[in-house]
Every structure is written in structure tokens, then in C-alpha cells.
């Protein structure tokens, strides 16, 4: 391109300079308009923008009805092999000592029949 410019006359070079300056003016005007649009958009977003701790509203999905089955999939309850009863000796809230201790003894009781045989 430098070789092309060197062959041109002074009048042609001045004509190119005026064309470029008019294009530069048009581009500057376009840049100014775009910057104004961006500022308006930013100012609109500030009004609509929520704080970082606020979650956006999400539309709730429609709940479908549960499928009716002939049998359940829950584990069957078994009878316990051992029962242990616990109780407090002192109330944890007011620290009052309970008069009756409802704990059951842990040892098994057995009933023994005794007979005395004379010889």
C-alpha cells in the first residue's frame, strides 16, 4: 500500500485524507451512541438487580399423584428380642430428684418350686 500512496498525486492524497476523516467522524458518532446505550442498560439493570443473598423465584413444578401399588416396599417390623427401659434420676430441666425410680431390673427372675422329702 505504501507503494500505491507514493504514486498518487497530492490532490488524490488529500481526497483520501478527507474520506478517512469523514469515516472517522461517523465511527466516533457510532461509538458515542453505543456507549450511551450501554449506560442506559446498566442503569436499568441496577434497578432490577437483586442483592447477592436473594435467590431468584423459581416456578414450582406440578406435583403428580403417587402411583398406587398392591404392596408396600417397606421393611416388615420384627418382634424385639430385648427391651430396655431408661429413665432419668434427675430432671434435666429443673434438676429435681425423682422420688420413684421407674427402672426395671435387668436380671431375669425365676420361680423355683421347692419340695421337702422325708427319709
Q: 52-102: per-residue pLDDT in tens?
A: 788 778 888 888 888 888 887 887 877 777 777 767 777 788 888 766 555
The answer to whether residue 94 is domain-embedded is: no
Which pLDDT score is estimated for 100? 58
How would DSSP label each residue in 31-55? HHHHHHHHHHHHHHHHHHPPPTTPP
The answer to whether residue 73 is domain-embedded is: no
pTM > 0.95: yes or no: no
Q: How many domains does the chain contain in total?
A: 1
Q: 86-98: per-residue pLDDT in tens?
A: 677 777 888 887 6
The answer to whether residue 18 is domain-embedded is: yes
The answer to whether residue 60 is domain-embedded is: no
Q: Which domain holds residue 6?
A: 2-48
Amino acid at each position: 500500500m505504501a507503494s500505491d500512496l507514493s504514486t498518487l498525486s497530492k490532490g488524490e492524497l488529500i481526497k483520501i485524507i478527507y474520506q478517512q476523516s469523514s469515516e472517522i467522524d461517523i465511527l466516533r458518532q457510532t461509538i458515542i451512541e453505543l456507549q450511551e446505550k450501554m449506560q442506559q442498560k446498566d442503569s436499568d439493570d441496577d434497578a432490577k438487580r437483586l442483592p447477592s443473598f436473594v435467590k431468584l423465584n423459581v416456578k414450582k413444578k406440578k406435583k403428580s399423584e403417587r402411583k398406587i401399588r398392591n404392596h408396600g416396599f417397606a421393611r416388615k417390623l420384627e418382634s424385639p428380642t430385648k427391651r430396655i427401659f431408661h429413665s432419668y434420676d434427675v430432671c434435666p430441666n429443673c434438676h429435681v430428684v425423682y422420688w420413684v425410680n421407674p427402672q426395671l431390673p435387668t436380671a431375669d427372675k425365676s420361680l423355683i418350686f421347692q419340695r421337702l422329702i422325708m427319709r
